[in-house]
Amino acid sequence: MTKPGKKFSRVRTIWLVLLGFIGLSLLVAALLRGNDVILFSPKGLVADQQHRLMVISTLIMLGFGVPILFFLYFFAWKYREDNEKAAYSPHSDHGKFFTFTLWALPTIIMLILASLMLPATQKLDPKRLIESENERLTIQVVALRWKWLFIYPDQNIATVNYVQIPVDTPVQFELTADETPMSSFWIPHLGGMLYAMTQHVNWLNLIANTPGDYQGSAAEINGAGFAGMRFITRVSSEEDFKKWVNDTTLSTNELGTSEYASLLMPSENNQAAFYSNPEPEIYSNILSKYAGGHQQYAGSTEHKVTH
Amino acid sequence: MREFLIGKLNADALPHEWFTIAGSVGFTLMLLFAVGLITYKKRWKWLWNEWFTSVDPKKIGIMYFIAGGFMLVRGGLDAIMLWLQQSLSSGSSHGYLSADHFQQIFTAHGNIMVFFVAMALIFGLINYIVPLQIGARDLASPFMNTLGFWLYVAGVIMVNMFFFLGNEYGAAGWLAVAPLSGKEFSPGVGMDYWIWSLQISGIGTTLAAINFIMTMLKMRAKGMTLFKMPLFTWGSLCSMAMAVTVFPLLTMTIFLMFFDRYFGTHFFTTTGGGNAMMYTNLIWMWGHPEVYILMLPSLGVFSEVVSTFSRKPIAFYKSNVFGMIGISTLALMVWLHHFFTMGAGADVNSAFGVATMIIAIPTTVLVFSWIVTMYKGKIRLTVPMLWFLGFIAVFALGGISGVLLAIPPVDFQLHNSLFLVAHFHSTVVGGVLFGIFAGLAYWFPKIAGFRLNERIGRYAVWSWIIGFFVAFIPLYVLGLMGATRRLDHYDASTGWQPFFIMSLIGGIIIAIGAALQIVQIIASFIQKRRLADTTGDPWDGRTLEWSVASPAPAYNFAVIPEVSSRDAYFEMKKLGISKPTYKDIHMPKNTASGIYISIFAFLVGFGFVWEIVWLVVVSILGIIICLIAKTFNEDSEYTIPAEVVEKMEEHQADKVRAFHKDDDEVDMGLLEFIKIALSWAWRLVRGKR
C-alpha cells in the first residue's frame, strides 16, 4: 500500500539533495574566484610534493569511498519497506570468504596509501637538506611574543616579521623560541609547518621556485598576540636578494643586547623591522639559556654554556 | 588573616566584564526561576528523594541527559560567538571580542562539548540502556554511579564558576597546551578553573567507567555470553575499557600541571629542565583515545538502529565486534599524529602514520557491516535511521580528511589549520553527536513511555545535516587557503571573510536544528497520550530492553530472562513467552553520600583555585569522613514483594492486551505546534488558565 504522495516526496528528496550539493559547490567556487587557494598553488618544491601527495591520496580514497557511499544510499532507497518489488531475507548469514573480503578491501587500500606515504615521509622530512646547485642559505628563526625574529648569520643581518630569500636556493630555517610558548612556523606557499620551541632547534628545509610575496604565520596558539604574529616571505632574484642584504647591512639599527631585550618584551601586531650587525652569539646564547647542561645545538661550534 | 580566610579572593574577582556580568546574571535568574518553580509546586522533597539521591541508573541516566542537554546549549552559544567574531573581524574591523576573550571562548567550547556534553550524553545512554540490554536490575555499584554523576555536576559548576568569581577562564585551548598553560604565561585563575573542572569530572568518569565494566562483565543475564551481547553494549564496553586505561593518565598529567602552577615544580615549564613536549605527549595519549571513547558507543547505537530498522540481525556480528575492539586497541597507539609537526624524525612519524591508517580498516569494516545489513532488509526511514544516513555522509568526509591528516608530509601543511578543525568536527559531530541523537530518538519511548514526534524530528535532522555542510565545507576550504585555527582577526586581503560568513550561516542553520529538537520534545509531550508506547516494543525491537514496559519499571526485569541467542528478545517473540513465577526483588536504597562527597570535592577545587588552605583541608577531611560513614551503613537495600511485582506486571500485560495499533499519522507538524503555543500564550495573557 504505497502512498503515491510519499513516493513522490522521496524522489524529490533525492533530487533536492543532489541540487543542494551542486549549489554548495557552485557557491564555494564563486566565493573562491580571485582568491589564492594557497595549498593548491605551491611555490616551492616541498609544497608542490606535499600538494601532489594530498591530491593523489584523496583521489585514491574517493575512488574507494564513493562506491561504498553509493551502495549504502542505494540500498537505503531500494530496500525501503514500501518497495514491494525488493527482495527481503530476514537472515544475515555470510560465508568466510565474504568476511575475509570485508577485511581485505580496506587493508589493500591502506597498503597502497602506506606505500605512498612511507617514502614520501622520508623524502619530505623537514630535516632533510634539499639538493641544489646553489649554495644553501641558513636563517635562524626565533619565536618571540608575538613576532618572528630572523637572523642571517652569514649575511650578518637580522629582521623581524619579514624574511627575504633568493629564488631556487635551498634555505634551512633553524627554529627555536625564547620566553615564548610553543609556536608553529608556517609558510604554506613553500611547505609545511614545524614547531619553534625553547630548548630545541628544529630544522626546516624549504626552497622557493617563484618570486613573490607570501604570507607566513604562527599556526599554534601561543597567547594573546597569536593572530597578529604574521610575517611576509619575499622570494626575490639572487641579485635583488644581495642588494637587499647590502642595504640592510648599512642600516644604523643594530641588534645588540639591549635591542634584543626590548624584542623579548611581549608586543602585538609588529611591523617589519631590519637590523644590521646582530650580536654574533645571540642565537647560541638563546639556546644555552635553556640548556641546563644539555647542549643540543650543534650548528655553531664556538658558543659558551652559561647558566 | 584576610589572606588566610579568603585566599586570593578580593573585590576584583566579582563580575565586572560584560560577559561575566551577563553570565552570572543569566545563571542566577535561571536558578531563581527553578527554585521558585520547585518551591511553588512543593516539589523539593520529591526531587530529593526520587531524583537527587536516587541510585537507579535509569534516573541517573535521565539526569545526565538533562545536564548534558543544558551544557550543549551553553557550548553551542560559545560556538555562535566564535563564528560571529570570525565573520566580523577582518581587516580594519576587530570584531566585538578581545583576543583574550576569544581564546577563552574556544577553550571553554572545546572543554564543554567534550567533557560536559558528549561524555554526559554517552553516560546517560549507557546508564539507561546497558542494564536493560544485558538483563540486569542495576549497576554493579549503585553508589559509585551516583557519586560519578554528582562529581560530573561539580565539574559542570566549576567550569561555569568563573562567571561569578574570577572573570576569566583558561585561554590555552581545550587541552591547555604547555608551556602556555603554565604559571609563566597564564598567571590567572582561569587555568585553575580549567584544571579543577576537568580533575573533578575526570575522577567521576573513571569511577563510572569501572562501574560500567564490572556491570557488563559480571551482571549479564544467564546465557548471554560475550558474543551474544548487543552491539551497543559492546561499543560501551570497548569505550569504557579505554576510559579506564587513559583517564588516570589525564588525572596524573593535570596533577603534574597543578604541581607546576602551585608548588613551582618544573615538569612542563620552559625553564628549570621542564619539558613541554612531555605534556603534549601525555595529554594526547589521553586525548586521542578520548575521541574514540565518545565514538564507540555511538557506533554501537548505529549498529542497533540499522539492524532494527532493516528488520534484520546485524551482518558480520563478529567482525563488527572485532572492529570495535580493534579501534579501541589501535586508538591507544596513535597519539603522536597530533604533533607530527613537533619535530620527531621521519621514522617515528611514519610509524604513527601507519598506525593511524590501520584504524581506518576496522572503521570501514563497520560501515560494510551496516551496508550488508541493509541489503535485502525492510528499511523504515524513521528519525534514528535518518540520523544514521546523515552520519555516514558527514563521517565519510571526516574519515577521508582524517586519513589525509595521517600522512605526515600532508599533515605538515594541514596541521593547525581550519582544515583540521573541519576534520574533527566532521568526526565528532557526525560520529558522536548524531549517534547520541539517533540513540535518543530510538530509545526515547523506552525512557519516557512515548515516542518522539517524527515529523518535526525529520526537520531537525535535515537542518543539522544541511547546516553541518554549510558550516564546515567553508572551513575545509579555508584550511586549504592557509587559514590557521583560533584566529580572532585576519587580514582582509586573504579573502577569507566570505567563507567565515558562510560558515556562520551554517552555524545558524544548526542552531535552528537544535531549536527544532527542543520543539520536537515539547510537541511530543503535548501529544504524549497519542504517541504512547503501550507495548514497550514500538519498533519491533530485537534486544532485551524492548521486552519490558516503557518506561522501564524500577526493577527493570520482573524475572531475569534467560538468553540463548543474539537478538534475544526477537527470538523470544518468535517462541512466545510463558508466564513466569515472581519472587521478591531486592533493590539498593537511595543515598545522599554521593552529593555530600561531590560538594566537598567541589570545595577542594574551589579552595585550590583561590588558595584557601583551610577550605582544602576541611573539605578533604569531609570527603574522608563521608566515605567512612558510608561504610557503616549496612542497611542499603529494600525489597519489592513478589505480589507487588506481579500486580505491576499484570497491569502492563493488560495494557498490552487492550492495545490496538492505530495506523494514522498522529504526529503534529510545525504549524499545528505554533498554533497550540500561540493559543497557550494567549490564554496566559488573558489570565484564564
Instruction: Give B468 to chain A, closest Cα distance, Å.
Output: 12
Q: What is the mean pLDDT of residues B648-677?
A: 82
Which CA distances in Å does A129 have to A165, A214, B213, B349? 16, 22, 51, 18
- In terms of residues, how long is chain B? 689
In-domain check, residue A11: no
Q: What is the mean pLDDT of residues A180-198?
A: 95
pTM of the model: 0.94
Q: Which H or E element spans position B653?
A: helix B642-658
pLDDT tens-digit profile of B173-183? 999 998 999 99
Distance CA B620, CA B617 (A): 5
Domain identity same for A158 and A54: no
CATH number at residue A210: 2.60.40.420
Distance CA B601, CA B199 (A): 10
How far apart, in Å, do the first and last CA atoms of chain A sit? 86
Domain identity same for A202 and A228: yes
Domain identity same for A165 and A255: yes
- The percent of residues in chain B predicted with pLDDT above 70, rounded, is 99
Looking at residue B79, its pLDDT comes to 96
Asked if residues B587 and B138 have their Cβ atoms less than 8 Å apart, the reply is: yes
pLDDT tens-digit profile of A282-296? 999 999 888 764 545
Which residues partner with A186 through β-bridges? A217
Residue B662 — very low, low, confident or very high, per pLDDT cuts 50/70/90? low
User: What letters, b where the CB count within 10 A reaches 16 and e where it falls short, cover B256-291?
Assistant: bbbebbeeeeebbbbeeebbbbebbbbbbbbbbbbb
Domain identity same for A177 and A258: yes
Q: Of B276, B313, B374, which is closest to A75 when you measure between CB atoms? A: B374
Domain identity same for A157 and A197: yes
In-domain check, residue A209: yes
Looking at residue B298, its pLDDT comes to 97
**Unique residue bearing C-alpha cell 596558539:** A221
Q: What is the mean pLDDT of residues B270-285?
A: 92
pLDDT tens-digit profile of A60-100? 999 999 999 999 999 999 999 888 888 898 887 778 888 99
* Ramachandran assignment for A213, one of left (phi > 0), alpha (psi -120 to 50 degrees), beta (any other): beta
Q: Is the pLDDT of residue B8 over 90?
A: no
Domain identity same for A44 and A152: no
Instruction: Give B462 to chain A, closest Cα distance, Å.
Output: 10
Looking at residue A301, its pLDDT comes to 36
Q: Of A37, A117, A184, which is closest to B407 when you measure between CB atoms? A: A117
Listed residue (B589, B605, B594) closest to B629, CA to CA: B594
Residue A229 — very low, low, confident or very high, per pLDDT cuts 50/70/90? very high
Cβ neighbours, 10 Å, residue B295? 26
Q: What is the mean pLDDT of residues B639-656?
A: 87
**Residue B362's Cα: distance from chain center in Å?**
23
Domain identity same for A153 and A282: yes
Q: Is the pLDDT of residue B244 over 80?
A: yes
Please work out, in degrees rounded to the nearest 5, the angle formed at the alpha carbon of residue B220 by the alpha carbons of B217 and B222.
Answer: 130
In-domain check, residue A197: yes
Mode of pairing for the β-strands spanning A162-166 and A171-177: unpaired
Distance CA B208, CA A40 (A): 47
Residues of B whose CB is below 8 A from A194: 341, 343, 412
Choose from A12, A18, A64, A102 for mutation: most chain B CBs within 10 A. A102
Looking at residue A3, its pLDDT comes to 43
Q: Judging by beta carbons within 10 Å of its beta carbon (0-12, 13-18, 19+), is residue B658 exposed, middle or buried?
A: exposed
State chain A's mean pLDDT as an integer: 89
Q: Which H or E element spans position A273?
A: strand A273-276
If contacts are CB pairs under 8 Å, which of residues 178-237 in chain B contact chain A? 178-180, 185
Domain identity same for A105 and A158: no
Chain-chain contact of A68 with B367 (C-beta, under 8 angstroms): yes
Q: What is the mean pLDDT of residues A262-278?
A: 94
Q: Of A76, A94, A121, which is closest to B379 when you measure between CB atoms? A: A76
Domain boundaries, chain B: 2-270+559-658
Looking at residue A9, its pLDDT comes to 67
Q: Does B273 touch chain A (CB under 8 A)?
A: yes
**Gyration radius from chain A CA atoms:** 27
pLDDT tens-digit profile of A108-120? 999 999 999 999 9
Q: Is the pLDDT of residue A1 over 50?
A: no
Domain identity same for A109 and A229: no
- The percent of residues in chain B predicted with pLDDT above 90, rounded, is 80
Alpha helix ranges (H) inside B89-219:
99-111, 119-134, 142-160, 190-218
Q: Please state the φ and ψ torsions of residue B190, each to the nearest 5 degrees.
A: -55, -45
In-domain check, residue A91: no
Domain identity same for A261 and A217: yes
Lowest mean pLDDT among A10-14, A155-159, B260-264, B614-618: A10-14
Chain-chain contact of B177 with A81 (C-beta, under 8 angstroms): no
The beta-carbon contacts of B95-102 under 8 Å, at least 24 apart in sequence, are B95/B488, B95/B489, B97/B488, B98/B488, B99/A224, B99/A225, B99/A226, B99/A227, B99/A268, B99/B488, B99/B489, B100/A224, B100/B168, B100/B171, B101/B17, B101/B19, B102/B488
Q: What is the mean pLDDT of residues B177-206?
A: 94
Looking at residue A5, its pLDDT comes to 44
Q: How many domains does chain A have?
A: 2
Q: Please state the φ and ψ torsions of residue A183, each to the nearest 5 degrees.
A: -130, 160
- Pick B555 or B656 by higher pLDDT: B555
Which CA distances in Å does B635 have to B48, B147, B523, B641? 19, 18, 43, 17
Distance CA B678, CA B127 (A): 37
The ipTM assigned to this model is 0.92
In-domain check, residue A10: no
Chain-chain contact of A102 with B477 (C-beta, under 8 angstroms): no
Looking at residue A2, its pLDDT comes to 39
Alpha helix ranges (H) inside chain A:
4-32, 45-78, 96-123, 238-249, 257-264, 282-291
Q: Is the pLDDT of residue B149 over 60?
A: yes
Domain identity same for A115 and A230: no
CA nearest to B417 within chain A: A219
Q: Is the pLDDT of residue B635 over 90?
A: no
Give just the sign of the alpha carbon dihedral A18, A19, A23, A24: negative
Which residues lie closer than 8 Å to B51 by C-beta, 6 or more apart? B59, B63
Residue A302 — very low, low, confident or very high, per pLDDT cuts 50/70/90? very low
Looking at residue B367, its pLDDT comes to 96
Domain identity same for A118 and A172: no
Q: What is the mean pLDDT of residues B661-671?
A: 75
State chain B's mean pLDDT as an integer: 93
Looking at residue B688, its pLDDT comes to 58
**Gyration radius from chain B CA atoms:** 25
CA nearest to A225 within chain B: B99
Listed residue (B123, B118, B25) closest to B71, CA to CA: B118
Residue B664 — very low, low, confident or very high, per pLDDT cuts 50/70/90? low
Looking at residue B532, its pLDDT comes to 87
Residue B687 — very low, low, confident or very high, per pLDDT cuts 50/70/90? confident
Q: Is the pLDDT of residue B640 over 80?
A: yes
Asked if residues B399 and B366 have their Cβ atoms less than 8 Å apart, the reply is: no
Q: Which H or E element spans position A163?
A: strand A162-166
Lowest mean pLDDT among A100-109, B281-290, B404-413, B626-635: B626-635
In-domain check, residue A130: no
**Residue A228's Cα: distance from chain center in Å?**
18
pLDDT tens-digit profile of B356-408? 999 999 999 999 999 999 999 999 999 999 999 999 999 999 999 999 999 99
Which residues partner with B317 through β-bridges? none
Residue B663 — very low, low, confident or very high, per pLDDT cuts 50/70/90? low
Q: Judging by beta carbons within 10 Å of its beta carbon (0-12, 13-18, 19+), is residue A303 exposed, middle or buried?
A: middle
Instruction: Give A168 to chain B, closest Cα distance, Å.
Output: 21
SS3 B490: strand
Q: Is the pLDDT of residue A203 over 50?
A: yes
Range of the domain at A74: 36-83+98-124
Q: Does B621 touch chain A (CB under 8 A)?
A: no
